[in-house]
Structure 1
Amino acid sequence: MEIDEKYIKAKERVKELKKFYTSLAIFIVVNLFLLVCNYMINGLTYPWFLWITVWWGFVIVVQALKLFGFNLIFSKDWEERKIKEFMEREETYKKESEHKWE
């Protein structure tokens, strides 16, 4: 891998990290606001803010797992393997087609 490619990948990674940390900060601020609103409205007798916190938190956890390398299904390695596989299939198909009429 050349230096330019490494730089581009590192830059993309930093951009993804920045996006994740921004999402996390917004998650914390908004959920604190919702907690205060819930407390002011009904004194937490029915903590409705937790529904939002749980579902949004699930999304944040999935983003974190993907970002920090726990993407088990469609990882970057999987993408690269599939790209190579399709390229090899296409090349094999072309070779077979060329030799078919000889």
Structure 2
Amino acid sequence: MSPLSTDPTHNPLERLARRRAHARLGWYTHACVYVLVNLVLVAISSASGRNWAIFPALGWGLGLAIHGTMVFVLAGGTDLHERMVQAERDRIARSGRGS
């Protein structure tokens, strides 16, 4: 048995699982930073007597929502990505451009 065969990172399923777990962890980190920073901005906004903190919260919230969609819907939360890859493989095979 070679050293490579015992290394779990050379297993395609293991690599995929690690990549998906890393992407989800990245989103959770992003969400925590979003909450903490926006709490500080709300405190500053309230202290200044104006409610301007909603604007960065909405803008960043949109980015967080897009990030979540990419992580949980398109990249592994469902099999949509795998179906799209398979559809591309089928199209390439039908067109005869295999390589």
Q: Same fold (TM over 0.5)?
A: yes
Q: Secondary structure of the residue that 2:73 maps to in structure 1? A: coil
Q: Which residue number in structure 2 is paired with residue 20 of structure 1?
A: 27
1:15-94, aligned counterparts within 5 Å? Answer: 15-42=22-49, 46-69=50-73, 75-76=80-81, 77-89=83-95, 90-91=97-98
- Segments of 5+ residues of structure 1 without an aligned counterpart are 95-102
Query: Which residue is 1:98 aligned to?
Result: none
CA distance in 1, matches of 2:45, 2:28: 25
Structure 1's consecutive aligned runs of 4 or more residues displaced over 3 angstroms after TM superposition are none
Counterparts of 1:39 and 1:14, CA distance in 2: 37
Deviation of 1:78 after TM superposition, in Å, equals 1.4
Aligned CA RMSD, in angstroms, stands at 2.4
Instruction: Give the TM-score normalised by the residue count of structure 2.
Output: 0.71
Considering only CA atoms, is the larger Rg found in Structure 1 or Structure 2? 1
| TM-score normalized with structure 1 length | 0.69
Aligned residues: 84
> What residue identity is the alignment partner of 1:64?
G
Residue matched to 2:5? none
Q: CA deviation at 1:19?
A: 0.6
Distance in 2 of aligned mates of 1:38 and 1:59: 21
